[in-house]
Chain A
């Protein structure tokens, strides 16, 4: 079963998350249910999963897919936060919502929690009330993984900083799906692992910047050919922040202002050719989509992010560093390392 490790030649000695392990064996029920995945990542990884606590804030099509994936995988507990009411739109890409839940007066977190409990009785799923922005840092102490979606860039940065200040290291992720495009951000702080080459084993360390640090890197210092989506998302973030809107609360009528903002941002970054860095056509697409998510893209984002969460918990497999983009228009799923200024 360990041949997968040999294949990727990576063995993690100190996984980013220190999840307590005891000697307890998996039950026969767990062994039977998780058989096919234990063959992929091994018994130890499965035990770590069953002791991990995951917080997901913001329930969208993409995070619903993520929830499904990690509940099926068998994490210890999943806590959901999303006080928004269940609207018809919410049901577009989120299969956890049944038609009878629409306008039923319950929160998205409650409705999704109820659905998810059914997926795997061995996972504790709960819904938490309240606003993460207001919650003190203590609240985050009980989690190994925090995933934030459906909120402003400002809120994401704030929560990211709160998590970083905890004494216990946790994995932090954000994800947004805008129509047929998606973005994932990963912050594992400093992640140490052993990389095995043909005859030698070397200790490797990855340093992840915070969200704030990553998006503050001057554009001119970034590697060439960074996905245009990275820049387009920053323009939209900036626009939405200035209007105090949530992601996707835009329409095509915002285009003139967005284009103006693009120009300003590009000027500030000393970028001359605005349209080749942030094409207007791409902005139009993202604006027109509004908060709509394309369901198959949610499946892809939820799949990629789910795998990253499982990797961080199990300490198996080199992590994605530190942005992921998918665009159904060209079909590419690309990793961008946006961590420090590139020399020269």
Chain B
């Protein structure tokens, strides 16, 4: 479902400037057909998680090549490939690093057999009170201040600091962010500025305990920096015709270079100006905005706010370019790594199509050579016997069955942790919950009722020893959870109020501010060998010393001392003709370009 952006053009060589805004899947298809007119390519400009891409859909393919950019979609496709028993070639790149892995049911581990790197999250107090790195200021500016001013007013927000004795500051503070009908935008901006960078810091400073071993922050007030009212050079903005299309504080203040680090005064001006422009030019967006790295004004506001806060806490300031990268979780990407990874994907895909199981390899593209190797092949691992996705090992959930609602389990465990898309929850033979758009009205109402019941209060009560059976019909994934009742949970360490074990979760979310990812594009592409180089960007799991490094040792000694494995694949690989023929003679649509853009914004690690 992804569309082409200017920043894709430095590496996605099937796309040109005039394609910006168009469907990646469709343009990629047309581009490949230009130099290979006789192959079949079907583009789908849709989300890979759509129900139409069910197990039967996946079953028609001999291999699936993933070029996704988020964990959620990868897990989903992994499950469908397992269910359809179709081999999956999975890949990702970041900067000069990349990897390609092969996943074949019954032969290798599945994509979810090993825990994935967890998205970086920060404790709430670090963000609200004790930032020590620039990223903390970015998270504060983006997830708290920006969300408070321009986002959904009903959302929880930890923006206001509380003084040590927890007095009733918050009651008063609620109103602070609402614009007073009598004040103009400049007055409003100055009041907000003084409240969040001045007053809130003063309040935090009263908490002596916090600053015992820390550098005390310095409150910042707007009048110390910009005693005079900003002069709006209307003449200037009229000259600048683009300004009306995309309001920008940088262009109205004539700051040109996004690489420059602005002074505190310049940041303060950007802060006031971007806030003014939001109210003046984009009033209808206010109340429903979420941070988007492609929204220039939002990036300007967040950069300025983060820098002012950084200055207050003695943290070095950053340029808009850098701030945008951190706030938007922008994945570094170059054409060369994508070319290498695309080549490696095709090499593995050919082995899969030739059923050359013994020669499947996971390959890591490294930035610096390791034992002379820049491209390091590793034998695939066997499936993890306790993987809940590709084995039938039950999980264990400790939960207070008398207080936890079914909704909590569905949201926090079934969806967030287990990555189910449209789950069904069964207790014994009783269906207590089912997700989907086409449910019978009465049934749906009944499920809605169940969601608000505590576990022990369900029509089929869930208590210690009960087995919950979860099923996602689209993913064809069934998973059993043994329930163990527990009274108490540690609010800080076990913020979900329940603990899932038996498998390591890919993303832990706690009473923490997650660094939400502004990245909204995602591509799943299955392309012909000539159409390589399509987007394959993500955080690759660089071989970890613990698990992956010992393996190449073995594979190296095997190939160095034994010539047989070297000669065998060579015959297979040079036998390209047969493969080409299979492709060309097949009238079915055997090459598919899938495009995907899951609406939910995914969290990713920051660095």
The proximity string for A residues 34-51 relative to B, scoring 1 for CB distances below 8 Å and 0 otherwise, is 111111110100000000
A294 adjacent to chain B (CB < 8 Å): yes
Q: Cβ of B259: which chain A residues have Cβ within 8 Å of it?
A: 25, 43
Closest partner residue, chain A, to B349 (CB atom)? A296
- Choice from B256, B336, B569, B570 contacting A303 with Cβ under 8 Å: B336
Contacts A74-B10, A303-B337 given; indicate if A334 touches B330 (C-beta within 8 A). Answer: no
Q: Does B458 contact A (CB under 8 A)?
A: no
Contacts A299-B339, A333-B374, A335-B369 given: A34-B10 contact, CB under 8 Å? yes
Report if B181 contacts A (CB, 8 A).
no
Give the size category of A's interface with B: 35 or more
Partner pick for B13 among A72, A179, A300, CB 8 A cutoff: A72
Known: A8-B367, A299-B533. A332 touches B336 (CB 8 A): no
Q: B607 contacts the other chain (Cβ, under 8 Å)?
A: yes
B328-365 contact mask (Cβ, 8 Å, vs A): 1 or 0: 00111111111110111111001000000000010101
Contact A332:B373 (CB < 8 A) given known A36-B333, A40-B334, A296-B343 = yes
Q: Which residues of B contact A180 (CB under 8 A)?
A: 570, 573-574
Q: Binary interface profile of B, 353-388, with partner A (CB < 8 Å = 1, else 0)? A: 000000001010101110011111100000000000
Q: A37-B333, A68-B13, A329-B573 are in contact. Are A302 and B372 (CB under 8 A)?
A: no
Which residue on B lies nearest to A289, using beta carbons? Answer: B574
Q: Quick one: which of A3, A32, A119 contacts B6, CB cutoff 8 A?
A: A32
Q: Please, which residues of chain A bring their CB within 8 A of the CB of B576?
A: 294
State whether B347 touches A1 (Cβ < 8 A): no
User: Given the known A-B contacts A35-B7, A95-B35, A336-B372, are A40 and B332 also in contact in the complex, defined by CB atoms under 8 Å?
Assistant: yes
CB distance from B30 to the nearest CB of A (A): 13
CB distance from B342 to the nearest CB of A (A): 5
Task: Contact check, A73 vs B10: say whether CB atoms are below 8 A apart.
Answer: yes
A65 in contact (CB, < 8 A): yes
Whether B403 sits at the interface, judged by CB under 8 Å, is no
Q: Which of A164-172, A188-196, A203-211, A304-312 sits within the interface?
A: A304-312
A185 contacts the other chain (CB 8 A): no
A324 within 8 A of B: yes
Judged by a CB distance under 8 angstroms, whether A288 is at the interface is yes
Q: Are A331 and B375 in contact (CB under 8 A)?
A: yes
By a CB distance below 8 angstroms, the chain B residues around A36 are: 7, 10-11, 330-334
**B346 in contact with A295 (CB, 8 Å):** yes
Q: Chain B residues near A33 (CB, 8 Å)? A: 6-7, 9-10
Residues from chain A with Cβ under 8 Å of B347 in the complex: 296-297, 328, 331
User: Given the complex, which residues of B lie within 8 Å of A320, measured CB to CB?
Assistant: 374
Of chain A, the residue at the smallest CB distance from B533 is A299
Identify the closest chain B residue to A336 (Cβ).
B372
A12 CB, min distance to chain B CBs, angstroms: 15
**Does residue A104 face the partner (Cβ distance < 8 Å to B)?**
no
A97 vs B447: C-alpha distance in the bound complex, in angstroms?
59
B50-58, B138-146, B427-435, B559-567 - interface stretch = B559-567
* A38, A304, A335, most chain B CB atoms within 10 A: A304
* A173 contacts B by Cβ under 8 Å: no
Q: C-beta contact mask, B42-54 vs A, less than 8 Å → 1, else 0?
A: 0000000000000
Q: Are A281 and B567 in contact (CB under 8 A)?
A: yes
B375's nearest neighbour on chain A, judged by CB, is A333
**Residues in A41-82 with C-beta less than 8 Å from chain B:** 41, 43, 65, 68-69, 72-74
Residue A298 at the chain B interface, CB threshold 8 Å: yes
CA distance A183 to B34 in the complex (A): 30
- Determine the distance from Cα of A35 to Cα of B11 in the docked complex, in whole angstroms: 11
Enumerate chain B residues within 8 angstroms of A317, measured Cβ to Cβ.
367
Q: Is A99 an interface residue (CB 8 A)?
A: yes
Q: What's the Cα separation between A240 and B560 when bound, in Å?
A: 29
Partner of B336, one of A34, A282, A304: A304
**A333–B10 contact, CB under 8 A?**
no
In the complex, what residue of chain B is closest to A41 when comparing beta carbons?
B334
B227 at the binding interface (Cβ < 8 Å): no
B465 near A: Cβ within 8 Å? no
A340 close to B (CB within 8 Å): no
CB neighbours (8 Å) of A288 from chain B are 574
Number of interface residues of B (CB under 8 A): 66
Distance between Cα atoms of A279 and B576 in the complex (Å) = 22
A331–B258 contact, CB under 8 A? no
Q: Complex formed: what's the CA distance from A332 to B344 in Å?
A: 11
**Given that A303-B343, A328-B347, A328-B573 are contacting pairs, would A39 and B35 also be in contact in the complex, using a CB cutoff of 8 Å?**
no
Is B16 part of the contact surface with A, judged by Cβ < 8 Å? yes
B504 CB to closest chain A CB (Å) equals 27
Chain A residues with Cβ below 8 Å from B11 are 36-37, 72
Known: A3-B607, A288-B574, A303-B340. Contact between A335 and B374, CB under 8 A?
yes
Contact with A along B535-574 (1 / 0, CB 8 A): 0000000000000000000000001100101110110011
User: Complex formed: what's the CA distance from A41 to B367 in Å?
Assistant: 13
- Is A136 at the interface (CB under 8 A from chain B)? no
Which B residues lie within 8 Å of A295 (CB)? 343, 346, 529-530, 532
Whether B570 lies near A329 (C-beta < 8 A) is yes
Among A1, A74, A329, A335, which residue has its beta carbon within 8 angstroms of that of B325?
A1
Other than the given A179-B574, A297-B343, 17 more pairs (CB < 8 A) read A33-B9, A35-B10, A37-B332, A37-B334, A37-B335, A39-B325, A41-B334, A73-B10, A95-B530, A180-B573, A294-B576, A296-B346, A300-B339, A304-B336, A306-B336, A328-B573, A331-B375
Q: List 22 A-B contacts (CB under 8 A).
A: A32-B7, A36-B7, A36-B333, A36-B334, A39-B330, A41-B334, A43-B259, A68-B339, A72-B11, A281-B566, A294-B574, A296-B529, A297-B347, A299-B343, A303-B336, A306-B335, A307-B337, A310-B336, A320-B374, A328-B569, A333-B373, A335-B372
